[in-house]
């Protein structure tokens, strides 16, 4: 695994993604607020759908409850700085939640699920687009942290000069 990571860090794509090391920010709290807000936004978009669309099936309630709980718990974990490993793992869980949501959302664009005519089978569904943008945003923010462009709480950039 270490060898794979080392090889990845030597690759051109890695250099390109991290903008060749020319851009870096030391805004750990801002980045963490951003990450937590994006996850909370995904949960909020689902709650909005739940409250604004009539007659949604129980399965969507269950899905929203699980997804919302995952988003909010993960968002909260990003602030647990006493043990730095917790927020670090939290960011990866946030990625998983975002990817899972995107997979479900994209899959349900191709088919209309029974009882969910209003929210599946179509692309012109604004809350879905919004939640998708938030999920992609979260993944992008975490990617920027992994690439060293950003840093998240409780870490700081190791700048002495």
Partner 1 sequence: MTTTFDYPVWLRVDHWLNVLFVTLIIRSGIEILATHPKLYWNDDSRPGSEWARFTRKVMPKNKLYDTLDEEEDYSPFISLPGHAQLGIGRHWHFVAVIGWILVGLSYYILLFTTGQWHRYWPASWSIFPEAWNDIVTYMTFNLPPLLPGEPLDAMQKLAYAGVIFGLAPFQILTGAAQSPAVEARFPWYVRMFGGRQWARSLHFIGLVAFIGFIIIHLSMVFFWGWGHLTAAMIFGSIRNTHWATALSLLIIAAIVAVHVAATLWSLRNPRSVQRVLDAVVAVVRRPLLRPLNSRQHYPERKLTAQHRVNGKPPCSVEYKVMAVHNFADWRLRVGGLVENPVTLDLAGLRALGEPEMQRVMHNCVQGWTSIGQWGGLHLSALVELVRPLPEAKYICSMTMQDNDRDEPSSHGGGQFYEVMDLELAYKPQTILAYEMNGKPLPIKHGAPLRLRVETQVGFKMAKWINRIEFINDYSGIGKGAGGWREDNVYYAKDVEI
Task: List residues binding partner 1 (CB under 8 A).
Answer: 20-27, 123-126, 129-130, 133, 159-161
Closest separation between CB of residue 118 and partner 1, Å? Answer: 13
Closest separation between CB of residue 50 and partner 1, Å? Answer: 17
Neighbouring C-beta atoms of residue 148, cutoff 10 Å: 14
Residue 103 CA to residue 26 CA, distance in Å, equals 32
Residue 157 CA to residue 36 CA, distance in Å, equals 20
Please, which residue, 125 or 138, has the CB nearer to partner 1? 125
Please, which residue, 45 or 75, has the CB nearer to partner 1? 45
Closest separation between CB of residue 72 and partner 1, Å? Answer: 23
Residue 52: both structure tokens together: 């604004």
Please, which residue, 83 or 129, has the CB nearer to partner 1? 129
Say if CB 128 and CB 119 are below 8 A apart.
yes
């Amino acid at each position: 695994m270490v060898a794979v990571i080392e090889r990845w860090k030597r690759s051109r794509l890695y250099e390109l993604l991290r903008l060749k090391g020319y851009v870096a920010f030391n805004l750990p709290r801002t980045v963490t607020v951003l990450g937590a807000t994006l996850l909370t936004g995904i949960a909020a978009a689902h709650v909005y759908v739940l409250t604004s669309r009539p007659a949604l099936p129980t399965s969507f309630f269950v899905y929203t409850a699980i997804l919302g709980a995952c988003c909010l718990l993960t968002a909260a974990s990003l602030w647990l700085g006493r043990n730095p490993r917790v927020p670090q793992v939290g960011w990866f869980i946030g990625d998983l939640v975002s990817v899972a949501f995107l997979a479900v959302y994209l899959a349900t664009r191709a088919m209309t699920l029974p009882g969910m005519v209003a929210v599946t089978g179509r692309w012109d569904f604004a809350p879905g687009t919004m939640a998708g943008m938030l999920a992609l945003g979260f993944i992008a923010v975490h990617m920027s942290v992994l690439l060293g462009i950003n840093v998240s709480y409780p870490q700081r950039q190791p700048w002495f000069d």
